Structure 1
Amino acid sequence: MKPKLVIYFIMMYWGAFALIATTVAMATMGSSLEKKAIYNNSTQHYFNISPRATTETKLTSQSAEVQLTKSAVVSTPAVLDCPQHSYVLAVWRIYLKNGTSCYISYKRETNSTERNCSKNMNWVSRPDQISALRLKSPEFSSEGIYMCSIAYARGTFIYKYNLTVLAPPEVSLTHTINGTAVCKAAAGKPAAQISWAQRGDYDTMKEMLHNGTETVTSIYNTTNTNEDEVVCIISHPAWKDARILNISLGRYNERRKDATMKILYSSLAGLLGILVLSLFIYAWRFFYGRQTDPTIMKSPETISARQSIQENELEPYATFVQVENMIYDKTGDFVQA
Structure 2
Amino acid sequence: MPCFGRTSDLQLLPILTVFLAAGYISAGVEGFTTSGNSPQQMGQNSNGSASSMDGKQNHTKVPTEGNTSLTVLEDTKAVLPCPPVPLTNVVVTTWKIMFRDKPSCIKAYRRNEKGGGNETTNCTDERITWLYRPEQDCSLQIDPVVITHDGFYRCEVVTPDGNFQHGYHLQVLVAPEVTLFQSENRTVVCKAVAGKPAARLSWTPEGDCVPEHKYWGNGTVTVQSTCHWAESNVSTVSCSVFHEAGNWSLSIELKQGAKTPENLRIICIIFPILFVLVIMGSIWLLKIIGCRKCKMKKTEPTPVEEDEMQPYESYTEKSNPLYDTTERVLKTS
TM category, shorter? 0.5 to 0.7
CA positional deviation for 1:123: 0.6
Instruction: Name 1:66's counterpart in structure 2.
Output: 66
Mapped partners of 2:185, 2:203: distance in 1: 19
After TM superposition, the score normalised by the length of structure 1 is: 0.60
Matches within 5 A, 1:133-282: 133-224=140-231, 226=233, 229-237=236-244, 239=245, 241-243=246-248, 245-249=249-253, 252-253=254-255, 256=256
* Residue segments in structure 2 that go unaligned for 5+ positions in a row: 1-22, 264-333
Contact 1:202 1:219 (C-alpha < 8 Å) held by counterparts: yes
Instruction: Name 1:100's counterpart in structure 2.
Output: 103
**Residue 112 of structure 1 pairs with residue 118 of structure 2:** yes
Mapped partners of 2:48, 2:218: distance in 1: 65
CA deviation vs aligned residue, 1:124-151 (integer Å, no higher than 9, x gap): 1111121111122333433333221112
- CA pair 197-11 structure 1, distance change in 2 beyond 3 A: farther
Instruction: Name 1:32's counterpart in structure 2.
Output: 54
CA deviation vs aligned residue, 1:280-325 (integer Å, no higher than 9, x gap): xxxxxxxxxxxxxxxxxxxxxxxxxxxxxxxxxxxxxxxxxxxxxx
CA positional deviation for 1:37: 2.5
Instruction: Name 1:321's counterpart in structure 2.
Output: none
RMSD: 2.8
Counterpart secondary structure, 2:96: strand
Over 6 Å off, 4+ runs? none
- CA pair 247-96 structure 1, distance change in 2 beyond 3 A: closer
Task: Select the residue among 21, 26, 32 that pairs with 1:10.
Answer: 32
After TM superposition, the score normalised by the length of structure 2 is: 0.61
* Residue segments in structure 1 that go unaligned for 5+ positions in a row: 44-58, 264-337
Instruction: Name 1:82's counterpart in structure 2.
Output: 82
Mapped partners of 2:70, 2:162: distance in 1: 25
Give the number of aligned pairs.
232
Mapped partners of 1:126, 1:204: distance in 2: 51
- CA pair 258-20 structure 1, distance change in 2 beyond 3 A: closer
- CA pair 8-125 structure 1, distance change in 2 beyond 3 A: same
Q: Which amino acid aligns with 1:94?
A: I
CA positional deviation for 1:15: 4.3
Mapped partners of 1:230, 1:23: distance in 2: 77
Q: Which amino acid aligns with 2:76?
A: T
Which has the higher mean CA deviation after the structures are superposed, 159-168 or 185-194?
A: 159-168
Rg larger for: 2
